[in-house]
Structure 1
Amino acid sequence: MFGRKREEPQIAPVPWDTEGPFVVGEVVRPAAVRQKGLSGRRAVRMSVTLDGVRYFAAAAFVEQRAPEVRSYELYDATRAQELLCTIAPVRGGGGSGERYAVRDQAGRELGLVFRTGAAKRTVQHGWWLRQPGHPDIVARYHWARGGAKQIAARGRDATVRGADGLVAGVVDSVIAGATAADSRSHVRPTKPVTWCAEDEVALTAGHTQGIKSYIPQASWLDRRLAFALAVLRQD
């Protein structure tokens, strides 16, 4: 019947350990021509297609008890009361920057998320990861040359020469790396950020429909650690 408002579809949650890219936010369906966007609870979300339309289904709900504290709880979206992990700042430890411990529902540490202070960054991005049993997971600036080990060595040299403290860190945003701006909009396309464990690609960040997205690529990388990085980078 003409004039009747079309009902919005119910987008079912997806398992949090499903392989593939994910995003963090409230967007269930981005706004399009003659169509309003659709929003929901803040969550780690994965792309699904329904009747030819792309949606972002919840995989893990994100809860922040105190807005002024960067501490979070992630819950399985298919089992809303089941805790997946917690993200909490770690105090002390020396050096500049921030550290966040990611722990499972039993309190076991899954790994750490670091943010290197801007004054201490050399050739690597500000956000980086450490997962027990694996090399540090870092991303370098797009202009840095050489392999990951060479980059780390340069960072150590730079620290000895002029910076006091932490060796190389990481960057906290997708780098604007295009060589020419769009003449009409003056918006530069962004280049993806790639985190590597030595010479193995572990995680990549880019954009999906204008939303920052992440693609875990190393089979050993705990997705909950990648979720934590994405949640922290969003705030």
Structure 2
Amino acid sequence: MFGRNTRDEPFEAVHWDEITQFTVGRTMRNTFRKSKRGEGAHAVRSMRMRGGEEYMVPGVYIVPVELSASLAKGGFRLFEDEAGRQLLCTVLPDGSDRYRVKDHADREIGCIRRTPVTKRLTRQGLWMEQPGYPSVVAPRAWARGGPGASLGRGVGHVLDGIVDSLLSFGSDEAGGSGGLKPVVWAAVVEDAGEEADGEYGEAVLTFPRRTDGTRWYFVKRDGWLDKRLAFALAVLRESDTIGADRH
């Protein structure tokens, strides 16, 4: 159904709910030589190791709703199988700052939202809403109280070595000589009163620094965040950042 497969995938697909580390794209193998990387279907892919090398194994397949439009403009569907028979969810813009994420039965899972320009100094460009849970945003380092205070409650070891790297100003992807800038999506503290602007709790999704340029996301194992929202956000972010849907 999806085409563009130039090689057979080396591993069986991973069930989407088992994925905790993932990337978005078509590359099948992380290797220095481009000719050996291989290209498969556009998918959310998890890591498997073989012979000391990283393989990107598809778990969720990405299909645009409108073939002539980018994923961000036309929306997309995520499927559990490459044949496109098992719909996982649909992600559609609603004409505002929202992308509504609905399951196979058209029930709303949540929303991916774009941060207003007026808040881009304190938050990254995309954030998540899931009914019954706090909003999940990615703060920039100069939110009130600094990175230690704003990400201090409930984050734990996930942020070790990451918080200090969030201090430099720039776009979502700006970074110095060290490579990509890490991003952390954390739950907004909702019960701390009006003076708590910039305070965040549990980290549920991270995009850490990788010096080799690979783009991995980490979603918390057995956490409350619906992984379909994490996948939807990552697909939109990769489309915005590197035009992954046009490769």
TM interval, shorter chain, is 0.7 to 0.9
Tell me by how many angstroms 1:124 deviates: 1.2
Verify: 1:192 aligned to 2:182, yes or no.
yes
Q: Decide whether aligned partners of structure 1 residues 60 and 207 sit closer, same or farther in structure 2, where only a CA change above 3 A counts.
A: farther
Conserved? CA contact 2:121–2:140, under 8 Å = no
Q: Secondary structure at the match of 1:123?
A: coil
Tell me the distance in 2 between the aligned counterparts of 1:143 and 1:189: 21
Regions of 4+ moved over 4 Å: none
**Kindly, what percent of the aligned residue pairs are identical?**
34
Q: Decide whether aligned partners of structure 1 residues 9 and 105 sit closer, same or farther in structure 2, where only a CA change above 3 A counts.
A: closer
* Partner residue, 2:60: 60
Matches within 5 A, 1:69-218: 69-77=73-81, 80-92=84-96, 98-144=97-143, 145=146, 146-147=149-150, 173-176=172-175, 178=176, 181=177, 188-198=178-188, 199-206=201-208, 209-217=212-220
* Partner residue, 1:13: 13
Conserved? CA contact 2:19–2:46, under 8 Å = no
* Partner residue, 1:95: none
Tell me by how many angstroms 1:132 deviates: 0.7
State which structure, 1 or 2, has the greater radius of gyration over its C-alpha atoms.
1
* RMSD across aligned positions (CA): 2.6
Mean Cα displacement is larger for which, 60-69 or 100-109?
A: 60-69
Deviations 1:54-87 (Å, cap 9, x if unpaired)? 2000000000032313310000037741000000
Q: Decide whether aligned partners of structure 1 residues 120 and 139 sit closer, same or farther in structure 2, where only a CA change above 3 A counts.
A: closer
Tell me the distance in 1 between the aligned counterparts of 2:45 and 2:182: 19
Tell me by how many angstroms 1:172 deviates: 7.2
Gapped regions of structure 2 (runs ≥ 5): 1-6, 153-169, 189-200, 240-247
Gapped regions of structure 1 (runs ≥ 5): 1-6, 93-97, 150-170, 182-187
Q: TM-score, normalised by structure 2?
A: 0.70
Q: Decide whether aligned partners of structure 1 residues 40 and 8 sit closer, same or farther in structure 2, where only a CA change above 3 A counts.
A: closer
* Partner residue, 2:235: 231
Q: TM-score, normalised by structure 1?
A: 0.73
